[in-house]
Amino acid sequence: QVQFVESGGGLVQPGGSLRFSCAASGTIFSIYPMAWYRQAPGKQRERVAVISSAGSTNYADSVKGRFTISRDSAETTVFLQMNSLKPEDTAVYYCNKVVAPSDWGQGTQVTVSS
């Protein structure tokens, strides 16, 4: 069983930036494509950013050009840099595998509001 621990959330004004971190037990990041997901109140969880085991990235249209997913060289942490935040980015953010995500962590909340 893998444990994901997300951190870095908070309250930020529109146009602001935040950086999330995700740590997981084991060497999962070097093996599996990883993603950041988010779930806004009353909405289904959606995938917003993906990083493959080779380091290639892909983004949902809603965050393209504003969010950047990355992984540290030791492959122990996955990051999500979020710039130009909008109120519609308000959600709980989670990291997990791309394929068959499971063992969801508690996530980290971001609220974008003036």
Using only C-alpha atoms, what is the Rg of the chain?
Answer: 13
Please classify residue 20 by burial: count the beta carbons closer than 10 Å to its beta carbon, then call 0-12 exposed, 13-18 middle and 19+ buried.
Answer: buried
Tokens of 97: 């595998």
What is the mean pLDDT of the segment spanning 65-80? 89
pLDDT for position 76: 79
Comparison of pLDDT for 12 and 102, the residue scoring more: 12
Query: What whole-number distance in Å separates Cα of residue 11 and Cα of residue 4?
Result: 22
Question: Phi-psi category of 10—alpha, beta or left, where left has phi over 0 and alpha has psi -120 to 50?
Answer: left
What is the band of 51 on the pLDDT scale with cuts at 50, 70, 90? very high
Sign of CA dihedral 64, 65, 71, 73: positive
Q: What's the one-letter identity of residue 86? A: K
CA distances from 3 to 56, 93, 94 (A): 24, 15, 12
What confidence tens digit (pLDDT) does each residue in 20-49 have? 999 987 667 777 899 999 999 999 999 999
Tokens 């990235």 identify what position?
57
